[in-house]
Structure 1
Amino acid sequence: MRNFIFSIPTTAYFGKGQIKVLGQTIKAEGGSKVLLTYGGGSIKQNGIYDTILEQLNTAGLAYVELSGIQPNPRIESVEQGIKLYRDNNCDFILAVGGGSTLDACKAIAAGVMYAGPVNDLFVDASGLSSRIIAAAPLATILTMAGTGSELDMGAVITVGEDHKKKVLLHPLVNPRFSILDPEYTYTVPEHHTMAGVADILCHLMEQYFTPDVAAKVQDRMNEGVMKVVLEEAPKLLANPQDYDARANIMWASSMALAGFQFLLGKPGFAFPLHGMGHELSSQYDMTHGVTLALLTPAWMRYTMQAAPQHLPVFARFARNVMEIREEDDAKAAEAGIKALEAFYATIKMPLNLREAGVKQEDLDGMAAKAVENGKLGCLALLGKDEALQIMRMAF
């Protein structure tokens, strides 16, 4: 196992009614004037917004609002937030929503402390956003589980006319604290709930399918979280207000990327499914988790063909996670993929790219864009030709 440093500087307030700590905890973190950010306004319909304002007012905190942060958040929203923060002399950021709002606010937090354009702050050859030297304090209130942004140091922002997804990654943008109340996810539409489930599962799988088999603690923990996701997601289809199912899915989302714990002791690499999935989101404004569900089975089958020496890890996934009882590794791995496809069908993900509305003539361009910053993956490195082959398999 390789050397690593493990740190999760974010405090998680998990459970019913944890919003009660909001005002005083912001003050304890040094906040006095808050940039309050959210998306399309659903928090005003379900009562979360009023509860937040009550907390801020009771604590004597001033605030200004940035609303309308869209899914697949654009850099224009980030730039708007930076301007609002500076013009109003804010000293704290509160992100309320799902991963899109949280990601935008991480970029705002870094951008307000940087003299140049926020475009400078995306990851570079070092693998981090090395120009980030400071960030404004940030807290989050999660209203949709999936991205894990509430407990990690990453953000994905859409930039430019070609809707390129760019990554911001730095420990300084970890939230100071995150409020995780499963009841706040009760009103998330079924499609987005299940897309979040697919996102969680992909975060776990991309950290699991690696060539380093020495990190046994990480992999066994990962298997347990994956099994919880598989067990709890169908319960939400039956009852969207199943508190315990919501709670387990929300915590699985947070744990999936918390300090990138399931990659500890393993080689770092560019996540292949996220790299390709971002291009589907860019081209078609497709929900992120849906793109991952569409690509995962094809990527698994391609990798087993291109790098058969890694077949055992896929067989292990099949047996330990999908509960396949087959002694032959190749047969077990294929049965595991079929079981995963059946799960995606259960949570109502599209069966293939064609069904999702993707045009075959767009595949070549998306494959090229997916690898324009370098090859993806680690079991089998993916360049443009390999990414295109996987997309064709998924079509």
Structure 2
Amino acid sequence: MDNFIYSIPTTAYFGKGQIKVLGETIKTYGGSKVLLAYGGGSIKKNGIYDAVIEQLDKADLARVELSGIQPNPRIESVEEGIDLFRRNGCDFILAVGGGSTLDACKAIAAGVEFDGPATDLFVNESGLSPIYDAAPLATILTMAGTGSEMDMGAVITVGEDHKKKVVMHPLLNPRFSILDPEYTFSVPEYHSMAGAADILCHLMEQYFTNDVAAKVQDRMNEGVMKVVLEDAVKILANPQDYDARANIMWASSMALAGFQFLLGKPSPTFPLHGMGHELSSMYDMTHGVTLALLTPAWMRHTISAAPEHLPIFARFARNVFDIREEDDAKAAEQGVARLVEFYAAIKMPANLRDAGVREEDLAVIAGKAVENGKLGILASLGKDEVLQILRAAFTG
């Protein structure tokens, strides 16, 4: 196992009624005037907005609002937020929503202290954004999936070709996050299940890295994957199942908390995210759905292209799906088949064609996915390999 440093500076306030800590906790971090950011307005329909305003008023905190942050958040929302923060003398950012709002606010937090355009905030050759300071940020999570409430990264959509780019720095870890599972009760079924697919992919892309001796990380990861598989279907049956919502919400947070399941492992390139982002860019497709569509095809390609890593896929099948097949190749294939069954059970599209992807776009998507270099860690993925995976995912 490689050396590592582990730090999660974000405090999580988890459970019912934790909104009560909001105002005073912001003040402990020096906040007096808050940039309150949210998306399309669902929080005004489900009562979360009123609860937030009540707590801000109770603590005598002034506020400025940034609304309308889009799914797959655009750089324009980031620029608008930076301008609002600066012009109004804000000193704290509060993101209320799902991953898109949280990601936009991380980029805003980086941008308000940055001497340059927002388009220069993205990671450079160091693997981090070129920032030296950031505004303090807190989050109130309303949809489980991205894990942005407990990590230091964000993905922002840029330009006419809707390219996904990454902002990442330890300074962008939220100071605190409020995680109330009841706030996810009203999330539509489709988005709840897409979030579950996103969580599962975060876990899998940290699991399928290399067969190094990181047993603690992998066994913990397997346990969280099993929870996602079990509790996502419970939410389908009863959207107000508090325990199922709580487990999925905490799985979302734990999946990327300090990238804990990568500790001691080689750093991967998250190939499924690299390909999935291009589907989202071209079709404005929900992020988690893209991952569900691509994962089985990627697994089968990797098993074929890098058979020396077959034991990892067999271990996944046995430890996550409880498959009792002694032959590694048969066990691995049964694991992929069970994963496909899970995606069908949570009502993900069966293939790219059913999701509305045009076959003639596959080569373009493959090229865009590797614009910044090859993907993958178990098997290297250039344009040809990505195209093979896309073609397999097109028909399912």
1:54 aligns with 2:57: no
- Equivalent residue runs for 1:64-213 within 5 Å: 64-129=64-129, 131-213=130-212
Kindly indicate whether the alpha-carbon contact (under 8 Å) linking 2:211 and 2:309 is maintained by their aligned counterparts in 1.
Answer: no
| Equivalent-residue separation in structure 2 for 1:299 and 1:70 (angstroms) | 29
Aligned partners of 1:366 and 1:124: how far apart in 2?
23
What per-residue deviation string (whole Å, max 9, x for no partner) do you get for residues 58-117 of structure 1?
Answer: 101000000000000000000000000000000000000000000000000000000101
1:210 partner SS: coil
When the two structures are superposed, what TM-score results if normalisation uses the length of structure 1?
A: 0.99
Task: Work out the CA distance in 1 between the residues paired with 2:173 and 2:70.
Answer: 21
Cα deviation for residue 363 of structure 1 reads 0.6
Question: For residues 182 and 210 of structure 2, what CA distance do their matches in structure 1 show?
Answer: 39
Structure 2 CA distance, aligned partners of 1:384 and 1:61? 51
CA distance in 1, matches of 2:302, 2:123: 26
* Counterpart amino acid of residue 152 in structure 2: M
Mapped to 2, the partners of 1:81 and 1:182 lie a distance apart of: 27
Deviation, 1:119, is 1.1
SS state at 2:259 partner: helix
* Counterpart for residue 16 of structure 1: 16
Any idea what SS the aligned residue of 1:188 has? coil
Moved over 3 A (4+): none
Match of 1:257 in 2: 256
Partner of 1:33: 33
Normalized against structure 2, the TM-score is what? 0.99
The one-character-per-residue Cα deviations of 1:136-182 (angstroms, maximum 9, x if unpaired) are 00000000000000000000000000000001111000000000000
| Aligned residue runs from structure 1 range 347-358, under 5 A | 347-358=346-357
Q: Which runs of 5+ in 2 are unaligned?
A: none
Which amino acid in 1 is paired with 2:369? A
Report deviation, 1:128.
Answer: 1.4
Residue 212 of structure 1 deviates from its aligned partner by 3.5
Alpha-carbon distance between aligned partners in 1 of 2:13 and 2:122, rounded to the nearest angstrom: 29
For the 8 Å contact 1:195–1:288, the answer to whether it is kept is yes
C-alpha separation in 1, matches of 2:56 and 2:126 = 39
Q: CA deviation at 1:381?
A: 1.1
- Quote the residue 1:360 is aligned against: 359
Q: Trace 1:214-363 onto structure 2 (pairs within 5 A).
A: 214-363=213-362
Greater Cα shift, 156-165 or 379-388:
379-388
Q: Structure 1 CA distance, aligned partners of 2:360 and 2:109?
A: 39
Q: State the secondary structure of the residue aligned to 2:321.
A: coil
| Superposed displacement of residue 269, structure 1 | 2.1
Aligned partner of 2:36: which letter?
L
Aligned length: 394
Whole-angstrom CA distance in 2 between matches of 1:128 and 1:385: 29
CA-atom RMSD, angstroms? 0.5
> Alignment partner of 2:211: what SS?
coil
Measured after TM superposition, the shift of residue 274 of structure 1 is 0.2
Percent same amino acid at aligned positions? 81
Offset at residue 213 of structure 1 (A): 2.4
Give CA-to-partner distance per residue, 1:227-246, whole Å, 9 cap, x none.
00001011001100000000
Spell out, residue by residue over 1:300-338, the C-alpha distance to the aligned partner (whole angstroms, 9 max, x if none).
000001000000000000000011110000000000000
* Inter-partner Cα distance in structure 1 for 2:231 and 2:283: 29
Q: Which moved more, 1:207-216 or 1:245-254?
A: 207-216
1:321 is paired with a residue whose SS is helix
Residues of 2 paired with 1:388 and 1:335: CA distance? 24
Asked if 2 retains the 8 angstrom alpha-carbon contact of 1:212 and 1:267, the reply is: no
- Alpha-carbon separation, structure 2, partners of 1:260 and 1:132: 20
CA deviation profile, 1:342-367 (whole Å, cap 9, x unmatched):
00000000000000000001011111
Task: State the secondary structure of the residue aligned to 1:194.
Answer: helix
Alignment check: 8 A CA contact 2:270 2:375 kept: yes
* CA distance in 2 between partners of 1:212 and 1:264 (Å): 13
Shift of 1:340: 0.3
Instruction: Give 1:33's aligned amino acid.
Output: K
* CA deviation vs aligned residue, 1:201-221 (integer Å, no higher than 9, x gap): 000000000113210000000
Determine the C-alpha separation between the residues in 1 that align with 2:390 and 2:243. 36
Letter in 2 for 1:114: F
Q: Distance in 1 between matches of 2:273 and 2:321?
A: 22
For 2:320 and 2:88, how far apart are their aligned partners in 1? 50
Three-state SS of the structure 1 residue aligned to 2:64 is: strand
